């Protein structure tokens, strides 16, 4: 089968004919998916469908066996390592927290803003007006303005997830990848997270993997259903929910 070698000019991310086998098991199977510039996409699918592996491939953590992975129309991500891909403007939020627990919310954001500079230097140095403004804006986006002086360790589970999203935003990614952000959150936190991602999507592209259908509905974006490493269905949540192929997979028939 011939595969498209290039996405549309309006694509930010373009995967075509991607395959990845782990010890003989095909985790990603001829996967083709594209994301338009400025789009937010929800990716759903049963456990083991390859959702996290797809993100690993986009971020360079995993190299595909075959296939194309392009950022913009001609940046080949398969030739780049993880730090270079992050540098290019692709930020990824993992499920396990990576906040500095013994620092305040404010200092966590400041450290994220400083990137690789030493924490000693960063926390000791005078903050510039621009840094302070940027941190204020981040606090508002992640709903933690009132919690700026709390230690990260003392935040709720949901607030920690938001802080991490804020730390990623500090790096100014063009594309944000979030894997199961609302797992373990309360209903109220889940709802806030949908609002938060919609706010973020006003200026950045987002791919969000999530099982929680109430949350996916609240996002109100195009949905891609992955199954056995390929796209099973794509469309609005109502469209994919009514697709017999999707119903079969979810009911396990
Ligand atoms: P999902 O995120 O959709 O639940 P994953 O992408 O995590 O699914 O996993 C897809 C399949 O690939 C699973 O069967 C998983 O066990 C396998 N897999 C993922 N990463 C690795 C790895 N590094 N080594 C071996 N198998 C892996
Ligand atoms: Mg996963």
Q: What does the block give as tokens for 52?
A: 């996290």
Whether residue 45 has its Cβ less than 6 Å from ligand 1: yes
231: pLDDT confidence band, cut at 50, 70 and 90? very high
Question: Are 245 and 199 members of one domain?
Answer: yes
Give pLDDT tens digits for 176-199. Answer: 999 999 999 999 999 999 999 999
Signed CA dihedral, 123, 126, 128, 132: sign only: positive
Whether residue 58 has its Cβ less than 6 Å from ligand 1: no
Question: Are 81 and 123 members of one domain?
Answer: no
Ligand 1 center–CA 19 separation, angstroms: 13
Question: What global pTM score does this model have?
Answer: 0.93
172, 195, 230 - which closes a domain = 172
Question: Are 179 and 85 members of one domain?
Answer: yes
Question: Are 121 and 221 members of one domain?
Answer: no
CATH number at residue 185: 3.40.50.300
119, 141, 172 - which closes a domain = 172
The whole-angstrom separation of Cα 94 and Cα 87 is 17
Question: Are 216 and 165 members of one domain?
Answer: no
1: pLDDT confidence band, cut at 50, 70 and 90? very low
126, 145, 172 - which closes a domain = 172
Which ligand 1 atom is nearest residue 49's CA? 3
Give pLDDT tens digits for 28-78. Answer: 999 999 999 999 999 999 999 999 999 999 999 999 999 999 999 889 999
Task: Give residues with Cβ within 8 angstroms of 90, minimum separation 6.
Answer: 58, 59, 71, 77, 173, 174, 175, 177
Signed CA dihedral, 130, 131, 132, 138: sign only: positive
Q: What does the block give as tokens for 144?
A: 């933690």
Cβ-contact 174, 204 below 8 angstroms: yes
Question: Are 43 and 84 members of one domain?
Answer: yes
Beta strands in 52-103, from DSSP E residues, in sequence order: 66-71, 75-76, 90-93
Ligand 2 center–CA 106 separation, angstroms: 30
Instruction: Residue 105: give the domain boundaries.
Output: 98-172
95: pLDDT confidence band, cut at 50, 70 and 90? low
Whether residue 53 has its Cβ less than 6 Å from ligand 1: yes
Which ligand 1 atom is nearest residue 226's CA? 3
Structural domains of the chain, count: 2
């Amino acid at each position: 089968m011939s595969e498209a070698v290039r996405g549309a000019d309006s694509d930010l991310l373009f995967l075509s004919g991607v395959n990845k086998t782990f010890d003989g098991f095909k985790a990603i199977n001829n996967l083709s998916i594209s994301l338009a510039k400025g789009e937010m996409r929800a990716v759903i699918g049963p456990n083991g469908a390859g959702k996290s592996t797809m993100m690993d491939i986009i971020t360079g953590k995993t190299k595909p066996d075959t296939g194309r992975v392009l950022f913009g129309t001609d940046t080949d991500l398969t030739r780049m390592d993880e730090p270079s891909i992050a540098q290019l403007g692709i930020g990824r939020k993992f499920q396990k927290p990576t906040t500095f627990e013994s620092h305040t919310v404010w200092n966590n954001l400041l450290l994220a803003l400083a990137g690789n500079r030493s924490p000693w230097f960063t926390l000791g140095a005078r903050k510039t007006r621009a840094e302070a403004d940027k941190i204020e804006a981040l606090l508002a986006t992640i709903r933690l303005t009132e919690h700026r002086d709390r230690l990260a360790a003392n935040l709720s589970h949901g607030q920690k997830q938001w802080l991490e999203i804020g730390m990623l935003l500090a790096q100014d990614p063009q594309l944000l990848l979030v894997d199961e952000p609302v797992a373990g959150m309360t209903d109220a936190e889940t709802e806030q997270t949908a609002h938060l991602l919609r706010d973020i999507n006003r200026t950045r592209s987002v791919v969000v993997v999530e099982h929680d259908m109430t949350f996916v509905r609240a996002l109100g974006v195009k949905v891609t259903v992955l199954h056995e490493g390929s796209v099973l269905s794509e469309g609005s949540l109502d469209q994919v929910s009514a697709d017999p192929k999707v119903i079969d997979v979810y009911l396990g028939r």
